[in-house]
Amino acid sequence: MILIKNNLKLMLRCKPIILILLCMIMVTGMLSAVFKDMMTDSLELGSFELGYSFTQDCVYEPIRPVLENVGRENGIKLIRQEDGVAQQAIQNGTADVFAEFSNKGCTVYSSDDHQIEASVVEMIITSLLSGTSATQIKDYLTEYKIDVQPMPDSQMYYTVAYTVYFVWCAMIVLGVITSAEHKNKIGTRFRTSPASSLSVYLSRFVPSAIVITALMFAGVAICTALFKLTWSQTALCALILLLGCIAAAALATVLFSLIRNVIVCVVAGYCLLMFWGFFGGSFCPYMWATFADKFRDYSPIYYMTRSLVELNTSGSSELTIPTVLILCGMTVVCVPLGMAAVRIGKEN
Amino acid sequence: MEQTTILKLSGLSKKFDSRTAVDHISLEIRQGEIFGLLGPNGAGKSTTLNMVCSLLKPTSGSIEVFGMDAKKEMKQIKRRIGYIPQDLAIHGNLKAWENVELFTSLYGIRGKELSNAVDESLEFVGLLDRRNSYAKTFSGGMKRRLNIACSIGHRPDLMIFDEPTVGVDPQSRNFILEKIKESNAKGATVIYTSHYMEEVEAICTRIAIMDNGRIIATGTRDELARLVTDRDPDSVSLEEVFLTLTGKKLRDYSGGEG
């Protein structure tokens, strides 16, 4: 307890920690302002025209009424055209985006200045076709309800995205303790004392979790007040964020205990977060992402960001339970790993 | 009456790759002694002490502290040892009392006993009036004294000082030496290493001289003097004894422990 208390004091007395909070608010404010128009545009789906065609005897033909229904509800102007004219339609400007259905699947065409609309169309078509085979599609469509996720506004999206991103970036707070221990040769005291590895582990993990959580909630509170945001499913969102903070602290303890060199540790953490953030929707909203979905699966940031965004826009998310399980799983794996790393460090 | 053996080293060795830092040393330190460990740089003093404090694992040999085998009962042994490291091991961003509290708590001391121990330790090293000052604001001598306070809060029976007066002013050095004698008078056994011969001469009741990883002589100051000269031991300085036994050749080891 005394170890935890004093390590907490060491963290809180490190003034640069406040930079994490300031960065989070500044980046959120900046990006939400920069991308405000773009994200607003993406909400107005009626502002573009979607050409589409089906090859003769195309097995996907039954989705046509559903596609038209989606277009009508979202204001997308659908224009049925002959097969094989996709590129011409784009070049002539008779359609902003063109969806060409054949028995092999669907090809989406668009010009460079309608990439966002093309992504929206891809998202809708993927939603329509996912989980179906050509022979099942008729049965499937009779039960299928198209659920186009409402888009968040840029301030909500970036508040969520950068709260999540900075929760993981805040792992750096543990560096305050480990670098102080390294610089001041405190390891000698731990190794010559009868203190257990568990108490040393907890003295790193618990203060990190507390400080990351405090920074996160402060950041969320300031952004909410600043951007006048309204959160829905508040308890669930808070739970996901809290679990994220705990998982981040657990991961930080593993990294900082395993890699003794603070600089190497920070670089390793930075690379990991760049990867997670890139594929997780921190830098580009995940709904516009063009890379393969499999990369997202390795990013807890993606799960957190998407579930929080969906909870706030549609009140529920199918990723909520996977997100909770992933974060709990990370903590469960990282705690024994961290303890082992501390024990090895204490013995050597 | 025979005094209890506090520390017994038997055939203790430590190798770093091909270099032998400590070479089959055997030594007994008895209760109530202030035992000086002398030697040139790289003689193996710190390596020996590091093995006693379990900072290093011996390559061979055995260590018995308070009659307990260090391999089997290190946790119990650690509770009774106070190791004052050569390098300052204190947090600059913590106040003096917080540092002492933190490191004393590592020995399982809690509550009122802990707060008493903090005040006693700070008083012992003359820093009670600066208990609320941050360690980073202290002078070199004050940091050394705080370093000591952080190691004695649990009231150890065996205190190991590894060159505790390096880089401090004469007043602080004198203060530290006086406090070591005071601790010894209160019952603590002390192991003391230093390059300052006059310090060792002033406080140590028995001295071992190490060179090239071996103990080449052990005894009281007078016994060591008689090893190198037939003159009156009082007329021979410890430095003269030391240089006669270890030679005047410069020792500059690099890599491994000293």
Average pLDDT over residues A150-162: 76
Residue with the bigger pLDDT between B138 and A56: it is B138
Average pLDDT over residues B216-245: 79
Average pLDDT over residues A106-118: 77
Residue with the bigger pLDDT between B55 and B134: it is B134
Alpha carbon distance A300, A279 (integer Å): 10
Average pLDDT over residues A295-301: 82
Chain A residues closer than 8 Å to B81 by CB: 192
What's the number of CA atoms in the CB half-sphere (13 Å) around residue B18? Answer: 0
Confidence of residue A139 (pLDDT cuts 50, 70, 90): very low
Distance between A346 CA and the closest CA of chain B, angstroms: 9
Q: How far is CA A333 from the centre of its chain?
A: 21
Confidence of residue B150 (pLDDT cuts 50, 70, 90): very high
Per-residue pLDDT of A42-79, as tens digits, reads 555 556 888 888 888 888 888 888 888 877 777 788 88
Cα–Cα nearest to A161, from A276, A255, A19: A276
Task: Please determine, for residue A303, whether its predicted confidence score (pLDDT) is greater than 80.
Answer: yes
Distance between B249 CA and the closest CA of chain A, angstroms: 32
- Give the DSSP H/E element, type plus range, for residue B161: strand B158-162
Q: Which residues share a beta bridge with A107?
A: A100
Record: contact A192-B78, CB cut-off 8 A? yes
- The confidence score (pLDDT) of residue B255 equals 45
Q: Express as a percent the part of chain B with pLDDT over 90.
A: 34
Per-residue pLDDT of B160-190, as tens digits, reads 998 888 877 888 888 888 888 888 988 889 9
Task: Please determine, for residue A5, whether its predicted confidence score (pLDDT) is greater than 50.
Answer: yes
Mean pLDDT of chain A: 80
Task: Please determine, for residue A134, whether its predicted confidence score (pLDDT) is greater than 50.
Answer: no
CB–CB contacts below 8 A, A to B = 71
Angle among Cα A11, A16, A22 to the nearest 5 degrees reads: 115
Least confident of A38-47, A173-182, B58-67, B144-153: A38-47
Alpha carbon distance B15, B226 (integer Å): 33
- The confidence score (pLDDT) of residue A133 equals 44
Task: Please determine, for residue A183, whether its predicted confidence score (pLDDT) is greater than 70.
Answer: yes
Residues 6+ apart with CB under 8 A from A235: none
Report yes or no on whether pTM surpasses 0.90. Answer: no
Record: contact B75-A194, CB cut-off 8 A? yes
Return the residue matching tokens 């992402």. A289
Interface test with B, best of A3, A14, A177, A193 (most B CBs within 10 A): A193
Record: contact A184-B98, CB cut-off 8 A? no
Select from B92, B98, B107 the Cβ nearest to the Cβ of A184: B92
Record: contact B91-A193, CB cut-off 8 A? no
Residue with the bigger pLDDT between B157 and A18: it is B157
Q: Which residues share a beta bridge with A49?
A: A77
Rank B98-102, B125-129, B142-146, B199-203 by mean pLDDT and report only the highest.
Answer: B98-102
Residue with the bigger pLDDT between A40 and B257: it is A40
- The confidence score (pLDDT) of residue B249 equals 61
Task: Please determine, for residue B236, whether its predicted confidence score (pLDDT) is greater than 50.
Answer: yes
Task: Please determine, for residue B82, whether its predicted confidence score (pLDDT) is greater than 80.
Answer: yes
Mean pLDDT of chain B: 86
Residues 62-121 (B) with a CB less than 8 A from some CB of A: 75-76, 78-79, 81, 83, 85, 87-94, 98, 101-103, 105-108, 110, 114
Task: Please determine, for residue A295, whether its predicted confidence score (pLDDT) is greater than 80.
Answer: no
- The confidence score (pLDDT) of residue A21 equals 79
Alpha carbon distance A146, A155 (integer Å): 26
Is B24 an 8 Å CB contact of chain A?
no
- The confidence score (pLDDT) of residue A151 equals 63
Chain B residues closer than 8 Å to A190 by CB: 106
Record: contact A13-B108, CB cut-off 8 A? no
Select from A3, A10, A191 the Cβ nearest to the Cβ of B105: A3
What residue type is assigned to position B150 of the chain?
A: C
- The confidence score (pLDDT) of residue B248 equals 60
Searching chain B, which residue's CA lies closest to the CA of residue A195? B106
Buried b (16+ CB within 10 A) or exposed e, B117-156: bbebbbebbebbebbeebbeebeebbbbbbbbbbbbbbbb
Task: Please determine, for residue A140, whether its predicted confidence score (pLDDT) is greater than 50.
Answer: no
Record: contact A189-B89, CB cut-off 8 A? yes
Chain A residues closer than 8 Å to B53 by CB: 191-192
Average pLDDT over residues B226-233: 75
Is B159 an 8 Å CB contact of chain A?
no
What residue type is assigned to position A90 of the chain?
A: I
- The confidence score (pLDDT) of residue A298 equals 82
Select from A180, A188, A195 the Cβ nearest to the Cβ of B91: A180
Record: contact B93-A190, CB cut-off 8 A? no
Confidence of residue B256 (pLDDT cuts 50, 70, 90): very low
Confidence of residue B95 (pLDDT cuts 50, 70, 90): very high
Helices (H), B188-249: 197-203, 221-228, 238-246
Confidence of residue A274 (pLDDT cuts 50, 70, 90): confident
Q: Express as a percent the part of chain A with pLDDT over 90.
A: 14
Alpha carbon distance B91, B85 (integer Å): 14
Q: How far is CA A7 from the centre of its chain?
A: 30
Q: Express as a percent the part of chain A with pLDDT over 70.
A: 85
Select from B81, B90, B105 the Cβ nearest to the Cβ of A2: B105
Alpha carbon distance B189, B158 (integer Å): 5
| Chain A residues with at least one Cβ partner in B under 8 Å | 2-3, 6, 9-10, 13-14, 180, 184-186, 188-195, 199
CB-CB contact of B97 with B131 (8 Å): yes
Alpha carbon distance A266, A256 (integer Å): 9
- The confidence score (pLDDT) of residue B19 equals 87
Is B187 an 8 Å CB contact of chain A?
no
SS3 B134: strand
Alpha carbon distance B57, B46 (integer Å): 13
Average pLDDT over residues A165-170: 85
Return the residue matching tokens 């097969």. A83
Chain B residues closer than 8 Å to A193 by CB: 78, 103, 106-107
Residues 6+ apart with CB under 8 A from A119: A287, A288, A290
Q: What ipTM describes this predicted complex?
A: 0.84
Alpha carbon distance B196, B170 (integer Å): 12
Distance between B226 CA and the closest CA of chain A, angstroms: 37
Cα–Cα nearest to A39, from A178, A200, A151: A151
CB-CB contact of A248 with A334 (8 Å): no
Record: contact B103-A193, CB cut-off 8 A? yes
Alpha carbon distance A188, B10 (integer Å): 24
- The confidence score (pLDDT) of residue A18 equals 83
